Amino acid sequence: MTEAALVDWSRAQFALTACYHWLFVPLTLGLAVIMAVMESVYVARKDEFWKRAAKFWQKIFGINFAVGIATGIILEFEFGTNWSNYSWFVGDIFGAPLAIEGILAFFMEATFVAVMFFGWDKVGRRFHLASTWLTGIGASISALWILVANGWMQHPVGMEFNPDTVRHEMVDFWAVVTNPVAVTKFFHSVLSGWMTGAVFVIGVSCWYLLRKREVRFARASIRVASIVGIVGTLAVMFTGDGSAIHVARYQPMKLAAAEGLEDGGTRAPFSIVPGLEIPGMLSILATHDIDGFVPGINDLLDGYTAPDGTAGLSAEEKKERGDIALQAFRSYRENMETDPDAAAEAKKILEENAEYFGYGYIGDRAELVPPVGMVYWPFRLMVGLGCFLLLLMVVVLWLEYRGRIEKYGWLHWTAIFSIPLVYIAGQCGWIVAEVGRQPWAIQDLLPVSAAVSSLSVGSVITTFCIFVAVFTLFLAIEIRIMLKAIRKGPMADEVQTESGN
């Protein structure tokens, strides 16, 4: 029997890798745009100041980029090492975006990042500028394909189950690529990276203002970053709204958990914090209609009928159909070579119940409810911090344009302390997305308990500890190196080798 501890540790390891990876990726995505804009200004105006500014942020980008790559490769291979059943069961669909990511995006990043770092004196100005942009574009294309893959896990489309090969097979590539969940997720995630990059740059620049150093550089950086950040944040909010609609439609249990909504209904309230609600707001957010029906956790477990007549099966009914699907699958496999009629009959039953296949692995109906607190609170933190950071960037940009940005020490401190906040917001977003999907690896089709590799718990605990140690070490080094580089400043001589080693 698949041990619960094995599933838990495998999840912990994947979550650890993903969380660490998402510490580095958003800064890559955001800084890429900011430094490319600065270099564009340099190429347009031929002003060395902008070159130094772009080079400084590229240096920070480089320190961060390597760790992003390191955590990313582990993440990709963990699908195979720790979720081997998953890798076969849906590899026919899931593998394709990962391969395309490698061919289309990673080589672009690898090629042009080297030109960007080392090509200042080797290639022409325009080729260098193109390389800087292509590095950022490569990173964004990479995000597109991995989010197509992730979007498919949230809302599987464009495939059919084949009992002969025992896997889901892609039948519509375009449906996978244009999966509305994937498209929304791409813009939501990549543009949240713009937010991260912007808040990071504003925070660092405000530190310079606080120290009354590098004032021209800091103000120029604030100007570029604020605009990038505000555009990014507004787009994140817009796509967040689209995301809510998708979650309500395709993952209602995730929405119910994110809202802590025990019993749903029409004019469902939005909970700001427990005990403080906005009447009807959840219905508006989830359905764009104040009279829209939003099922709660109990509705989803017990079954419901919405006012428009839409019925939702109870957990027991879904489990029953999942059992029928699994039984039909077994029957098909037993008869496929000996009794074609029986096999055909079993296949027909399997197809009728295929959408509930994953429920056949569910033991207790309580397993179908993700941990509410771990979804409810991160969602509030994410939204709250997003609003706060937008306000901060608007204020910062406004004061910069008024020429008064240097005067407000409290604002500088606020901006500095906002750097960890933007990371917390990003982490919370992924916690909502991934914990909210539980118990599913692929929504309704495969629970994590049936997706996991057959390994000893001890092996996974060991690699978990190794990865904790390695990633934490890398993070500590990265932060320390960044702090030193920031303290040194953008206009100092950048030729530096460490002494004393």
Judged by beta carbon, residue 427 or residue 453, the one nearer another protein is 453
Query: How far is it, in rounded angstroms, from Cα 41 to Cα 31?
Result: 15
For 240-368, where are the E strands, in sequence order?
Answer: 265-266, 270-273, 276-278, 293-294, 304-305, 311-312
CB of 382 to another protein, least distance (A): 29
Query: How far is it, in rounded angstroms, from Cα 114 to Cα 135?
Result: 9
Instruction: Let me know: does 152 contact 79? Beta carbons within 8 Å.
Output: no
Judged by beta carbon, residue 74 or residue 191, the one nearer another protein is 74
Both tokens of residue 279?
């009447």
Judged by beta carbon, residue 295 or residue 360, the one nearer another protein is 360
CB of 143 to another protein, least distance (A): 15
Judged by beta carbon, residue 331 or residue 418, the one nearer another protein is 331
Judged by beta carbon, residue 120 or residue 398, the one nearer another protein is 120
Judged by beta carbon, residue 35 or residue 425, the one nearer another protein is 35
Instruction: Let me know: does 253 contact 245? Beta carbons within 8 Å.
Output: no
Residues in Cβ contact with 480 at an 8 Å cutoff, skipping those fewer than 6 apart: none
CB of 178 to another protein, least distance (A): 14
Judged by beta carbon, residue 304 or residue 357, the one nearer another protein is 357
Judged by beta carbon, residue 333 or residue 380, the one nearer another protein is 333
CB of 26 to another protein, least distance (A): 18
Judged by beta carbon, residue 125 or residue 404, the one nearer another protein is 125
CB of 105 to another protein, least distance (A): 9
Residues in Cβ contact with 287 at an 8 Å cutoff, skipping those fewer than 6 apart: 245, 248, 293, 294
CB of 374 to another protein, least distance (A): 26
Q: Please choose, from the candidates 62, 19, 26, the residue with its C-alpha nearest in 3D space to the C-alpha of residue 472.
A: 19
CB of 359 to another protein, least distance (A): 10
Residues in Cβ contact with 433 at an 8 Å cutoff, skipping those fewer than 6 apart: 150, 154, 185
Query: How far is it, in rounded angstroms, from Cα 457 to Cα 341?
Result: 43
CB of 121 to another protein, least distance (A): 7
Instruction: Let me know: does 197 contact 410? Beta carbons within 8 Å.
Output: no
Phi, psi (deg, nearest 5) at residue 281 = -70, -40
Both tokens of residue 498?
């460490």
CB of 497 to another protein, least distance (A): 5
CB of 38 to another protein, least distance (A): 17
Residues in Cβ contact with 25 at an 8 Å cutoff, skipping those fewer than 6 apart: 68, 72, 139, 143, 193
Measure the CA dihedral 355/360/365/371, to 10°: -70
Judged by beta carbon, residue 61 or residue 304, the one nearer another protein is 61
Let me know how many helices (H) and strands (E) the chain has, helices first: 18, 10
Judged by beta carbon, residue 301 or residue 452, the one nearer another protein is 452
CB of 292 to another protein, least distance (A): 36
Exposure of 34 in the CB half-sphere (CA atoms within 13 A)? 38
Q: Please choose, from the candidates 166, 173, 121, 203, the residue with its C-alpha nearest in 3D space to the C-alpha of residue 389.
A: 203
